[in-house]
Structure 1
Amino acid sequence: MNTWLDEVFDVKKPIIGMCHLPALPGDPGYDAAGGMTAVLEHGRREITALQEGGVDGILISNEFSLPYLTNTEPVTAVTMARVIGELRSELSVPFGVNVLWDGVASIDLAVATGASFVREVFTGVYASDFGMWNTDVGRAARHRARMGASGVRLLYNIVPEAAAYLGGRELAQMTRSTVFNGAPDGLCVSGLTAGAATDTSTLKVVKENAGAVPVFVNTGVRPDTVAESLQYADAAIVGTWFKKDGKFENDVEAARVADLMSVVRGVRA
């Protein structure tokens, strides 16, 4: 059965590499001395390494804007739009965006830059490291419609990082109701934090209850786990493994990307 994944990526089980932008203006960790020149150079290095390593797509996020806001300041999306605008001609694969943790801002950024998809937490209420975390999927869906952005696919984090769902329902039930009530274009299944392994049994439950909605393994993918994850997941989003020594804070290395993509080609075959 064909899905929008086939239309966008034209490959079975696409691998989307993360371009983690450094802290941006307004963020506590922003390098004011290096300024936007340093941010742009970092983004260019990440995109170049990911594409040289052979990823099928790229997801650009403000991963180092820690601690995250659930209602971001305008400067964040504005800065990301500048970065993507300047680097857009160097992107040779489909790309998405994620303004952490703000679904509406992510949609706005996608519209402004021509991104094919966004990833965010669009449904549920959570107790998180960033406080009580509420969402409004109806508002986000209507915002996308008002922006004329039906072609921007919305990937919902069904098991968000650093947060616990307050609904008290089992994952299978939560998945079915999210698909029915929220009409996601994809469901992302995560571990505890960036780089943390995603439990295969959790992936299996989500996949079995997602119907025709594609399921993404969202964290912890490595060469030794990717084959098992892709038994259930329709795609993978990979960040930490692609970085030097597999450490979140380091830069992406093209050789590590190529190593994982080699395993993925075997899985596809």
Structure 2
Amino acid sequence: MAAQLGVYPRKPSAMAELFGTEKTLVGAVHLPPLPGSPSYRGQSVAELCRFAVEEAQAYVGNGFDTVIVENHWDLPFLKPGEHGYEVAATMGVITAAVVAELGAKVGVSVLSNAGQCSVAAAWAAGAGWVRVNQWANAYVANEGIIEGQAASTTRYRHAIGADPVRVFADVHVKHGAHAIVADRTLAEQTEDAEFFDADVLIATGSRTGHPTSVAEVVGIRDHTQLPVVIGSGIDPTNVGPLLAECDGAIVASAAKENSRWWGRVDPEKVRAVARAAGR
């Protein structure tokens, strides 16, 4: 941690390992409902793979560096430990199709907060990283009480030989009341996530698509030696000032045809974000 550099040795940058670029732009591939979801309508896994690859190509072909694959239409979200075998299997196969196009810099996020399932899918697919929203502490979310996944996920990752998979962990998690009794400051939550062995920290707004404040980014950056990326609310108007304070951004809503997370990726909107970021 930044305040105790003599105690916690600095890790090699996971951003440099994975991407080799400065100010990395990551597009979010929001998959249709998957097998096991109440809204699943029987599409073949091959069809779902084609969708994911098309979305990924729309991002990377228009100025972004890579993507993260998410089961964002599996609503309502299950809590960690409740996901069936079909989720890890389907996410692994779909992500592998994207990895075949883009390489190991692809990420995986199984919602909600399913660290072990995400690691299983990423390792099977050859993906390099996962996003876990609540890594340390706990919070009250739409799904109920969500506990940090660091202890179980790191042990599972090691048990299956997936130690190379890096963890991008949110700080001050969106969609919830933070730390139950709100007695953990932003600085403390940042230090907790680093102490629990995250590799990259994520700053977000309060909901999907809501802007992340510069103050939030700086507040996290100033209390960690890990890379920091933006996790929500990036658009052409704010990408420049926000990227100036961190190492990258995950973008979705601003790149969609309807400016909402559930739309298809619009190549021109992707280019607009990339241009504003100096690409």
TM beyond 0.5 = yes
Aligned counterpart in structure 2 of residue 198 of structure 1, from 206, 212, 220: 212
> Separation in 2 of the partners of 1:47 and 1:264?
19
CA distance in 1, matches of 2:92, 2:192: 34
2:197 corresponding residue in structure 1: 183
What's the secondary structure of 2:254's corresponding residue? helix
**1:262 to 1:136, Cα distance in 2 relative to 1, 3 A:** closer
**Counterpart mapping for 1:241-252 below 5 A:** 241-252=254-265
Asked whether 1:162 is paired with 2:171, we answer no
Q: Quick check: 2:107–2:122 contact (8 Å CA) kept in 1?
A: yes
- Between the aligned partners of 2:100 and 2:206, the Cα distance in structure 1 is 35
RMSD in angstroms over aligned alpha carbons? 1.8
* Deviation of the 1:73 alpha carbon: 1.9
Please give the alpha-carbon distance, in whole angstroms, between the structure 2 residues aligned to 1:136 and 1:246.
31
Aligned-partner residue type, residue 194 of structure 1: T
Q: Decide whether the 8 Å contact of 2:255 with 2:266 is kept in 1.
A: yes
**Which residue identity does 2:122 align to in structure 1?**
A
Distance in 2 separating the partners of 1:179 and 1:73: 29
Question: Equivalent residue for 1:78?
Answer: 89
Q: Secondary structure at the match of 2:278?
A: helix
Which of residues 54, 58, 72 in structure 2 aligns to 1:49? 58
CA 1:12/1:132 → structure 2, altered by over 3 Å: closer, same or farther?
same
CA contact (8 A) 1:62 1:98 kept: yes
Q: CA deviation at 1:41?
A: 3.0
Pairing partner for 1:110 from 122, 134, 141: 122
1:149 Cα offset (Å): 2.0
User: What amino acid sits opposite 1:191 in the alignment?
Assistant: G
Does residue 1:14 correspond to 2:27, yes or no?
A: no
CA distance in 2 between partners of 1:88 and 1:4 (Å) = 18
- SS at 1:197 equivalent: coil
Aligned pair partner of 1:98 in 105, 109, 112: 109
The correspondence for 2:76, drawn from 67, 82, 85, is 67
* Matched-pair contact (CA < 8 Å) for 2:92–2:120: no
Give distance in 1, aligned partners of 2:197 and 2:13. 14
Deviation at 1:35, TM superposition (A): 4.0
Q: 1:136 to 1:95 in 2, by over 3 A?
A: closer
The question of whether the paired residues in 2 share the 8 Å contact of 1:122 and 1:140 is answered with no
Q: Displacement of 1:37 after TM fit?
A: 4.6
After TM superposition, the score normalised by the length of structure 2 is 0.88
Q: CA deviation at 1:147?
A: 2.1
Is the Cα–Cα contact under 8 Å of residues 98 and 106 in structure 2 kept in the other structure? Answer: no
Distance 2:16 2:226 in 1: 13
Could you tell me how far 1:197 is from its partner in structure 2? 0.9
Does the CA contact (< 8 Å) of 2:95 and 2:127 recur in 1? no
User: Aligned letter for 1:249?
Assistant: W
| Other structure's SS at 2:258 match | helix
| Counterpart in the other structure of 1:259 | 272
Name the SS of the counterpart of 1:28 in structure 2.
Answer: coil
Correspondence 1:114-153 to 2 at 5 A = 114-120=126-132, 121-153=134-166
CA deviation digits over 1:28-75, x for unaligned, max 9? 22122x443542332122012112112111111111111111222221
CA-CA distance at 1:215 after TM superposition: 0.8
Q: Which moved more, 1:99-108 or 1:41-50?
A: 41-50
- The corresponding residue for 1:172 is 187
| Letter aligned with residue 18 of structure 2 | V
Quote the sequence identity (%): 26
Point out where structure 2 has 5 or more consecutive residues left out of the alignment: 1-9
Aligned letter for 1:95?
V
Matched with 2:6 is: none
Residues 102-159 of structure 1, C-alpha deviation per residue, up to 9 Å, x if partnerless? 0011111111011111001222211111111113412211111222222211011112
Quote the residue 2:3 is aligned against.
Answer: none
Match of 2:241 among 228, 238, 244: 228
